[in-house]
Structure 1
Amino acid sequence: MIRRRWVIGGLIGYLVAVGLILVLPVSYSGIVHAIGDTLADIGIGGFGSGWVEFTANIVMFVPLGFLLTLLLRHHWWGIVLAIMLSVAAEVVQVVIPSREPSLRDILANGLGAAIGGALAWLVVLRRDGRRERTTSST
């Protein structure tokens, strides 16, 4: 029960932070281009701003998949809900003047959610299952 409260608290904090990032009328293209330029300057070539943004979207949705999977206790439900939230976030961006929704973002967000869900399932939920089997066999 205590863990569930921590997951809910983490999920609320995450949703507030990401919600602000997604809906604030701020163009993040300058930040994305600066990261791409910095990578090129330090000798890590081949990463244009599109790849930086794609990777950032993946990373941003890993915690959502992870937390929803912990909360719902089933990896597919967490991933499906995270993808639905991703689609909703892109739809909301249609009405924000400086933002551009895209299917590519939904793909990256869904991939991040899937990675987070898989990590939660592999690391935490499977550990709990082993613990339950050990407890019931003794």
Structure 2
Amino acid sequence: MKDIIFDDFQNAVDDSLLRHKSLLDIITKLEESQGRINRALAKSVTNCGCIEIHAKKQPSPNNDDIDMDSYKKQLNTHLDGTLCDNCREVLEREIGNNLFYLTSLCNLLDLNLYDVLLKEYNKINTLGKYTFR
């Protein structure tokens, strides 16, 4: 069922993309949309203040025998707070635009978005925490 939603989305993107059919248009719009996500996040911190960033050096494992689960618990997101409704709405819109252009790129290259997601999902499930991302 979920693959149908992805396929329907991918087809809807293909039907609605009119002005930016060129590969160059799509990749620059994809990059621009990523910048807009970053800008919306920055504005959530600097203008709204609903989230705060408290960054510091992440701890390094002391030896090769470290347990990955306990190491993961030591890592910090550097993020405090939660998005307010307005910032959440802006970020959802910007992430949606990013998905639109990512899907447009998939369409242009004859890649199925669901297949790409499924391969990444399987890789993560196979390697688990050892993907080291």
TM bin (shorter chain):
under 0.3
More strand by share: 2
TM-score when normalising by structure 1:
0.25
Higher relative contact order, structure no. (Cα contacts within 8 Å, ≥ 6 residues apart)? 2
